[in-house]
Amino acid sequence: MTGTGPATGVIGQEISRADGPAKVTGAARYSGEIALPGLAHAQIVGAEVASGKITSIDTATARRADGVIAIITHRDLPKVNQVPLATSLPGGPAPGETFFPMQDAIVHYAGQPVAIVVAGSLEQAQHAATLVRVSYAQTPSVTTIDQGRAGSYRPDRLYAGRVPAQVRRGDAEGGLAAASIRVDASFRFAANHHNPLEPLTTTAAWDGDKLTLYDSCQGIKAVQLTVAAQLGISPSAIRVLASYVGGAFGCKAMVWPHVTLTALAARHVGRPVRLALPRSQMFTSCGHREQQEHRIQLGASRQGKLVAIRHHKISVTSPFDDWAEPAFGVASRLYACPSFEGEHRLVRGNTMTPTFTRAPGESLGVFTLECAMDELAGELGVDPIELRLRNIADVDPDTGHPWSSHGLRECFERGARRFGWAGRDPSPRSQREGNWLIGTGVAAAAYPVAFVMRTQRARARMHADGTAVVQTSTTEFGTGMATVMAQVAADGLGINMSRLRFEYGDTELPATGSPVGSNGAMMVSAAVHNAAVALRDQLVALAVGDGRSPLHGADRASVVVAGGLMTLTGDDGAGETYASLMRRHGMTDAEATGSWDPPPLDTPYGLLTFGAQFAQVAVDADLGIVRVRHLTGAFAPGRVLNPKTARSQLMGGMLWGMSQALLEGTRMDTSLGRWANASLGDYLVPVNADAPDVDVELIEVRDDVTGPLGVKGIGEVGQVGAAAAIANAVYHATGHRPRELPIAVEHLLPHLPAPAAALAIPRQKTKKTT
């Protein structure tokens, strides 16, 4: 992808997306649009029961349908290696769940693949799939917390063993007992499902024993390693390509069974096969944010200083994996508090393994904490921002280490000024516009900076005409990665973006890890920067050692490069371009590689990206309808590579936080063990008409720990705190504290003032009839 924009010094400039024109004109080709000769289409047949055993599969009618090439069941599918669950962050295999379907007749969850239909067209495959008849011996299922609460358990660790299920600091029990003020609040959160614009799609093509996958994913290296491990072949036999990905947000971070199933189907029929999940199967094929309940207890002094926090969570996992969003990575460290106790409990349920969903763990962990902090502020009669400022942690409360960078105080102060917080009347129902109750709310935001990836690599090549190519295997799934990395590369080389092409999305390029967990910009920019600087230094060294160069004998450190021209610092006189230097030496190109190794996990610094969220809502006093009128967010993400793409990411997170607060929730039909609203007709997401004014402020803070450019993540911190600010604003408007997400009309109506019209109309007597 060729960059467009100004010359050197482009880091920090607002440059529009380089991939924008291709996307809006339809030139971009996604994984489901790759044209291959002889391409066939696959459709999954999902189990209709949540627990049981297949007793028979009748495929006779389906096989006679037009265009059907093959129907594959557990009786036909080769055995697949079981790969332990792992996160995609470290750069190894990353299956979404330990279980792999169609290996036997056992059904563990509704929607589990039990057959695959392959046909000449998508429509033929979809039709034939409806003709497959599967019979089951059904057994009782557990699909909700209430059904499995009595059998809940506390695992040792979560996240494939990477996160402890319990977090303890100090004496929370003693601290709560001695506290002058206590808050005790419980919350229920509906499950959430992924609905990116592009559903998961895989196209698989074999050439002998070589496999090419075009996959809509966040990490092509993770796909390569996972499929290789499951099929028992060398990763070198698999090439994965992902030029364009239509949104991901966590559902494409892990590698789900459909990818390997597509590869197996293609091998079975001897031709390329594409499997594009229909929207309904997105609810049963790529994990979800699990149904969960949180209870939090805060203890504080009368001066508003926290002395103890106890935070417990229970959620539903799958039959095979101890998986839960870790809720305490931020909640245990956001404020200075000597005692913290966090505990996760799990219910084994008949669902697939949950997965990363934007701001996993922290969005609801911080929601719980920030709603409780708002309640504590009310108990103390203290402004909610002032309470938070009194408890800001100057060091990481868990370790005592200094923060790599902070900025939370600045986020609160500058965000409050932009939002107009000053002079707010804290009394609930204190502001009204006609029939609308107006409320404002605030919440802190933070998200971890996690050094759990392996070595990141990039390659930079300069051609003799002064143009450059920079390559790395990262993917672009809507974040602006390709644009921002072109900026980083152009800045490091000292050339115009128009003279540089950034190539990505191919496992044959230098490897980077999956850009997940808000780590993408940090880790990929470090490798790209180091590659670009290494090539620049190589060419500068050639120039200063060349007797024919005007830079001969100069101190390398005094040479600056802008627009491809090497000059001496402070000297506007003679210089030399890369192109002229390379032509004189008869060079067709020059190349350098760059790598970056993240600091060790025990780096002696606290690592969080901080922010503050503000919301104004209007609640209809008669109907309980909530409208978000305004959102303001102030964030401190280290160095900002591109303010335009950064604001876009943060704005998207804030709007998703609004969606989480008011709209999104998947409901389980316990009688069937199936999700009851598995469609975009029933699973609510916001549309443009729901979007309020959104105001984002970026506060740059210097960070010398997170890589050579001081970049921290922004992809998820924008969602953290947004729902809590909205819920706190709803309380301010109505006097009722929401205890369940999404906040629904039926939660609010019993707590609203009686409608004026109802009070004014006297009840009429009815005539008695005979």
Alpha-carbon gap, residue 40 to 44, rounded angstroms? 14
Give the Cα separation of 735 and 737 in Å (integer): 7
- Give the integer Cα–Cα distance in Å for 278 and 294: 33
Residue 465 near residue 564 (C-beta atoms within 8 A): no
Handedness of CA 364, 370, 373, 375 (dihedral sign): negative
With 0-12 / 13-18 / 19 or more C-beta atoms within 10 angstroms meaning exposed / middle / buried, residue 236 is exposed
Alpha-carbon gap, residue 751 to 730, rounded angstroms: 11
Contact predicate 348/290, CB 8 Å: no
Q: What angle do CA 646, 649, 651 make, to 5 degrees?
A: 105
Catalytic residue among 97, 293, 362, 716: 716
CA distance 691 to 662: 12
Spatial separation of the C-alpha atoms in residues 541 and 54, rounded to whole Å:
69
Token duo for residue 244: 């364009």
Q: Which helix (H) or strand (E) holds 441?
A: strand 436-448
CB burial of residue 98 (10 Å; 0-12, 13-18, 19+):
middle
Beta strands in 129-282 (DSSP E): 133-138, 157-158, 163-164, 166-169, 181-189, 201-207, 210-215, 238-241, 273-276
Single-letter amino acid, residue 332: S
716 is catalytic: yes
**Cα–Cα distance for residue pair 610/412, rounded to 1 Å:** 10
Alpha helices in 676-744 (DSSP H): 722-734
Closest among 468, 489, 459 to 577, alpha carbons compared: 468
Residue in 124, 129, 125, 126 with CA at minimum distance from that of residue 114: 129
Q: Which residues are marked as active site?
A: 716
